Structure 1
Amino acid sequence: MMRSVAGFGRLPAGIGLGLAVLMFGCGVAQADTVVPLPDGKQDFTTATGVQIELSRTGESAVVSPSLAYNGLSRTASMSGTVYATVAGATGGTLVSGYLIGCQADLSGGVTVGGDVYVAPGSVSPELAPSINLVPGGVAQVKFDTKQIDPRAGAVGFEYHDRGVQVDGCAGYAQARAFTTLTVTDQRGSAEVTLYGDPFSIG
């Protein structure tokens, strides 16, 4: 069983991994831009009887100018808290991060071209991993993957100022949070994805 939020589907393949997230357009920003984002929540009971409450709260982003001031590179750092209760689950995983696209509208369906894992220490422009995006490219940036402890009946984590640097994209760029929760019990498995609001990174 698979569920998703806000009709976030998939489009035809062909969006490659050579991604370089465009963040500013033609010019170079001269100061950080703080982007507050709304909370999100998804509640339902799976066909196998697992009761799920999945939420993202306190989400925000800070978009910064390129250190090289070349108009093709930006740095964004994101913060938030992801939490899920999974009454009745015997196992599963919680994966959370961001979709980042160059000249791609993330409010609809996309085909993700590749994965990038951002380590917890990547909290500054100097440490943030670089993602190269071509126009039309979308990268899935994973911040963390947590295993569900059946005894706890819940799973979650916080991230603060987790940085991502986007290079090579000279146009419009967007980012959008995603959190995918997979749960299992004796009768089977189910998956739900909670998406955040898209926001501009230049």
Structure 2
Amino acid sequence: MTNHVPSAAESASARPHRLRNLTGLGCAAITVIGLLSAGAAQADTFVPLPDGRETGPGVTLTRVGEHATVSPSMAANGVGRVAWVTGTVAAEVTDAPRVERPGPYSSPGNGNGTNNSSTHGASQVNAGYIIGCQVSVGDKAITAGMSANVGTTSAGVSGSVGVQLGPGEVKLVQVGFKDILEPGRYAVGYRDFGIDLQGCGGYAQARSYAVVEIIGNNYSKTVLYGAPFSIG
């Protein structure tokens, strides 16, 4: 039995086939790399945030375990993004009037990021976020937003909320609250609460807030702000 040695003509005719195969592999590799790059551009961003503590008349207010995950909006329109926020706010209340039953609730939007506890006859702990479009959410922006009474958006029971925000605007998003009917410990916890921001073509910032209002003859309001973070 003799081994067949391909002639020069046969080798030359086989080269294009091998080149076509290699070229196909190269295109496939480039396609995979392209898909990986596109996926990386759309990746979520995890933002760890520091704990906080604030002491006021008759109350100690703390926030622990806060973090955010920033994602592209499902709307995929280039001007939207979503922040999924998690944290726990707790109020240790040592001085508050005892209340059997709070009165009718006022609607959200009564200013200062709260349900305006004094209008329904019970003290209250309240947690949420301040959102700004092309505004650095520092103390001045927060004060301006609250004094302008831009309104508070409440999520209800859905666990997420949509916010329409234009350049230079600041809005308050309420995550949750609890009435304080007597001295004790009260907590508002939330996990992966979604804030879907739309309409902001520039950069956006968010910052958590927690408020305790104590009604009665010794009315007081204690506010704890979180660290500002970018939501794209």
Partner of 1:121: 158
CA change 1:29–1:92 in 2 (3 A) is: farther
Shift of 1:94: 0.7
Q: Which residue does the alignment assign to 2:169?
A: 137
- Residue in 2 aligned with 1:7? none
Q: Equivalents in 1 of 2:46, 2:180: separation in Å?
A: 33
Report which of the two has the higher share of helix. 2
Say whether 1:33 aligns with 2:48. Answer: no
Match of 2:135 in 1: 104
Alignment partner of 1:129: what SS? strand
Correspondent of 1:148 among 169, 180, 201: 180
Q: Distance in 1 between matches of 2:186 and 2:87?
A: 15
Matched with 1:163 is 194
> Alignment identity in percent?
40
Equivalent residue for 2:87? 80
Could you say which residue in structure 2 is the equivalent of 1:61? 68
Q: Which gives a bigger RCO, structure 1 or 2 (Cα 8 Å, sep 6+)?
A: 1
Does 1:195 pair with 2:195? no
Select the structure of larger CA radius of gyration. 2
Is the 2:91–2:185 contact (alpha carbons within 8 Å) kept by the matching residues of 1?
A: yes
Alpha-carbon distance, 1:184 to partner: 3.0
Q: Report the AA paired with residue 75 of structure 2.
A: A
Q: Structure 1, residues 58-78: CA drift from partner, whole Å, max 9, x if none?
A: 000010012232210101111
Question: What TM-score, normalized to structure 1?
Answer: 0.76
Give the drift of 1:188: 2.1
SS in 2 for 1:109: helix
Quote the offset at 1:29 in angstroms.
5.0
Q: 1:140 to 1:201 in 2, by over 3 A?
A: same
> Over the residues paired in the alignment, what is the CA RMSD in angstroms?
1.7
Q: Normalising to structure 2: TM-score of the pair?
A: 0.66
**Structure 1 outlier segments of 4+, above 3 Å:** none
Task: State the shift of 1:95 in Å.
Answer: 1.1
Quickly say closer, same or farther: Cα 1:29–1:149, change in 2 above 3 A: farther
